[in-house]
Structure 1
Amino acid sequence: MKIKKKYLVDYLEKIYNEKINVLKFEPLGSGCHGSGFLIEFLHNSKKERLVAKTLKSGIGLGHDHFSDRCQVLMWANDTFNNLPKHVKAVDVAGISGDGITSIGKAREFFLLMEEAKGVDYSYDLREMKNKSSLDSEDIEKIKKLTKYLAGIHSVKCTSEDAKILYFRKLRDTIGHGECLMGVLDTYPDDIKFTDYFEMAEIEKKCCDWMAKLKHKYHRCCQIHGDFHRGNIWFSDDDFTVLDRSRGEYGDAADDVTAFTINYIFSSIIHHGKLKGAYEEALRLFYEYYLKFTGDYEIMSVSALFYAFRGVVVANPMFYPDITEKQRRMLFNLVHGILDADEFKIDEVNDYVK
Structure 2
Amino acid sequence: MHIERKYIEDYVKKRFGKNYEVEEFSPIGSGAHGMGYRLHLRTPEGLKKFVIKDLRGEGLGHDYPSDRAAIFLWDKDYYSLLPHHVKAIDVIEQSHDNTLHSMTTGKEYYLLMEEATGVDYFKDLEEMAEKKHLDSVDEEKIRKLVEYLAMIHKVKKESKNLYWRKLRDTIGHGECLMGVFDTYPDGTLSYKEMAEIEKMCIDKRAELKPLYKRLCQIHGDFHPGNILFQDDGNFLLLDRSRGPWGDAADDVTALTINYVFYGVNHRGKLYGAYEEAMELFFNYYIELTGDEEIYFVVPLFFAFRGVVVANPVFYPDVTKENRHKLFNFIRGVLRDDRFYLKKVNDYING
Instruction: Check whether TM > 0.5.
Output: yes
Say yes or no: does 1:279 pair with 2:275: yes
1:71 Cα deviation after fit: 4.7
Distance 1:110 1:323 in 2: 37
Say yes or no: does 1:181 pair with 2:164: no
Structure 1 residue ranges, 4+ long, deviating more than 3 angstroms after superposition: none
SS of the aligned residue for 2:157 comes to: coil
> Which of 317, 323, 333 in structure 1 is aligned with 2:319?
323
Distance 2:346 2:105 in 1: 54
The one-letter code of the counterpart of 2:198 is E
The one-letter code of the counterpart of 1:319 is Y
1:150 Cα deviation after fit: 0.2
Distance 2:70 2:346 in 1: 41
Distance 1:274 1:130 in 2: 13
> Which of 231, 236, 240 in structure 2 is aligned with 1:240?
236
Distance 1:115 1:322 in 2: 32
Q: Which residue of 2 aligns with 1:34?
A: none
1:106 Cα deviation after fit: 2.2
SS of the aligned residue for 2:235 comes to: strand
CA displacement 1:290-343 (0-9 Å, x = unmatched):
111000000011111000000000001111111111111000000000000111
SS of the aligned residue for 1:107 comes to: coil
Alignment of 1:105-144 (within 5 A): 105-144=105-144
Say yes or no: does 1:213 pair with 2:208: yes
Q: Which runs of 5+ in 1 are unaligned?
A: 1-66, 75-101
1:108 Cα deviation after fit: 1.9
> Which of 222, 229, 240 in structure 2 is aligned with 1:227?
222
Q: Which residue of 1 aligns with 2:20?
A: none
SS of the aligned residue for 2:327 comes to: helix
Distance 1:318 1:208 in 2: 27
Distance 1:253 1:110 in 2: 30
The one-letter code of the counterpart of 2:242 is R
Percent of matched pairs sharing the same residue:
62
Task: Name the one with the larger strand percent.
Answer: 1
The one-letter code of the counterpart of 1:350 is D
Q: Which residue of 1 aligns with 2:293?
A: 297
Q: Which residue of 1 aligns with 2:150?
A: 150
SS of the aligned residue for 2:113 comes to: strand
1:271 Cα deviation after fit: 1.5
Distance 2:166 2:187 in 1: 31
The one-letter code of the counterpart of 2:218 is I
The one-letter code of the counterpart of 1:303 is P
SS of the aligned residue for 1:114 comes to: coil
Q: Which residue of 2 aligns with 1:254?
A: 250
1:167 Cα deviation after fit: 0.5
The one-letter code of the counterpart of 2:119 is V
Q: Which residue of 2 aligns with 1:204?
A: 199
Aligned residue-pair number: 254
Say yes or no: does 1:306 pair with 2:302: yes
> Which of 341, 349, 353 in structure 1 is aligned with 2:337?
341
Distance 1:104 1:277 in 2: 52
State the Cα RMSD in Å. 1.9
The one-letter code of the counterpart of 2:258 is N
Distance 2:337 2:105 in 1: 51
Distance 2:106 2:197 in 1: 38
Distance 2:315 2:227 in 1: 18
SS of the aligned residue for 1:233 comes to: strand
CA displacement 1:183-226 (0-9 Å, x = unmatched):
000001132xx211000000000000110000100000000000
CA displacement 1:263-283 (0-9 Å, x = unmatched):
000000111101100000000
Q: Which residue of 2 aligns with 1:11?
A: none
Distance 2:107 2:342 in 1: 50
